[in-house]
Amino acid sequence: MVSVTDFNITKINRSKLNDINLENIPFGKYFTDYMLEVDYEDGEWKTPEIKPYQPLLLEPSLAAIHYGQAIFEGIKAYKNLAGEALIFRPHDNFTRFNISAERMQMPTVPEEIFMDGLRQLINLESNWIPAKVDHSLYIRPFMFSTDETIGVKPSEKYKFMIILSPTGPYYATPMRIYVEEQYVRAVPGGIGYAKAAGNYGGAMYATAQAKLKGYDQVLWTDAYEHKYVQECGTMNVMFIIGNKAITPNLDEGTILKGVTRDSVITILNEMGLTVEERALNIDEVIEAHKAGTLSEVFGTGTAATISLIKELRYKEYDMVFDVTTWTVAPKVKAILNDIRYGKTADTHGWMMKL
Ligand SMILES: *Cc1c(COP(=O)(O)O)cnc(C)c1O
């Protein structure tokens, strides 16, 4: 077991923060002064290092580049009104990371490395968390195989890293969504429930095709009938029909178990809505729209928290919404924000202090 004191820390001379204006920062473009790096070799994790953010020197034969044993996570740290740094539900991401690792035949990362590493890194970098509502520090843990051989087999060596990127307000404009019937993201027995790099590369062609048709994202459907709703791009999806919130269930392993999804389900329940996690056929969505009971559709995920869907297109049927009249999604977003910035009590224990 790696204890907290076993991390090797190499200090920087001057922070890049002096040169960056945290006011208008594009998502994922700037990285902080430090990164965490740990190598897995000979069946064990070596001593973790926290060192200046820098390029990696890798062999062209690197296994991850060829066969895609690569997984990641996305977490956010916030500064509350009292100026304290807090991380939103990182333990859930840690758990999910190791679920992804197992599915990709990669070693799991010990809690001492993932969680303590995260804490120590954020401690060093807390100046990079903008002390402003709608601002946060995006945390990107990832792991990839590092064998230097092009034989197709699980790698014996891996690298686990954490990098950090400050993010400003994410003005997610309401999206136009195309219900995808040709390409699929995930199948039962596949890797849809893992945050594996290949899932994202595999989705890009279909998304680009939808963009050519004028849409922002696709709503993925099941591989057999192209009827059952899965996810919206890289977000989980919620439908408000009558006084119910309906979101696809996780049983088939085709859906990423979002931490935001879980938080939103909790909040919706507390708001008095009935939340149903179940198979949802697009025909049911259309019928609800025709009956006037489909009131809101939105995506949930760490990057934008809640993204409103203003248009949903299925074959020739177009569902257009006036998002300015919506009440549920904006309220859920406000409740989540108030918890994150310490404006209301964190009754669920979601905010982890350093
Ligand atoms: C990361 C991700 C989500 C959202 O998960 P959060 O934990 O809420 O950020 C949803 N779907 C996919 C495919 C994802 O990769």
Q: Render pLDDT for 99-153 as a digit per residue (tens, 0 to 9).
A: 999 999 999 999 999 999 999 999 999 999 988 888 899 999 999 999 999 999 9
% of the chain residues with pLDDT over 70: 98
- Which of 193, 232, 235 maximizes ligand 1 atoms within 8 Å of its Cβ, making it the mutation to test the pocket? 235
Residue 169, pLDDT > 90, answer no
On whether both 142 and 199 belong to a single domain, the answer is no
Residue 74 CB–ligand 1 contact under 6 Å: yes
On whether both 66 and 180 belong to a single domain, the answer is no
Residue 302 CB–ligand 1 contact under 6 Å: yes
- Which of 255, 256, 261, 350 maximizes ligand 1 atoms within 8 Å of its Cβ, making it the mutation to test the pocket? 256
To which residue do tokens 């070693």 refer?
Answer: 107
Residue 11, pLDDT > 60, answer yes
| Any domain includes 346 | no
- Which of 218, 220, 247, 302 maximizes ligand 1 atoms within 8 Å of its Cβ, making it the mutation to test the pocket? 302
Residue 56, pLDDT > 60, answer yes
Contact (CB, 8 A) for 295 and 241:
yes
What's the pLDDT tens digit per position in 256-272?
Answer: 999 999 999 999 999 99
The count of other CB atoms within 10 Å of the CB of residue 36 is 23
Confidence of residue 24 (pLDDT cuts 50, 70, 90): confident
Total domain count for the chain?
A: 2
CA of 61 to the centre of ligand 1 (A): 30
On whether both 181 and 162 belong to a single domain, the answer is no
CA of 142 to the centre of ligand 1 (A): 14
Beta strands in the chain (DSSP E): 8-9, 34-41, 44-45, 49-52, 70-72, 75-79, 85-88, 136-145, 158-167, 175-179, 217-221, 229-232, 236-241, 244-247, 274-277, 294-301, 305-314, 317-320, 351-353
Residue 234 CB–ligand 1 contact under 6 Å: yes
For residues 229 and 44, give the distance between their C-alpha atoms in angstroms, rounded to a whole number. 41
On whether both 24 and 141 belong to a single domain, the answer is yes
**Residue range(s) defining the domain that contains residue 180:** 175-332
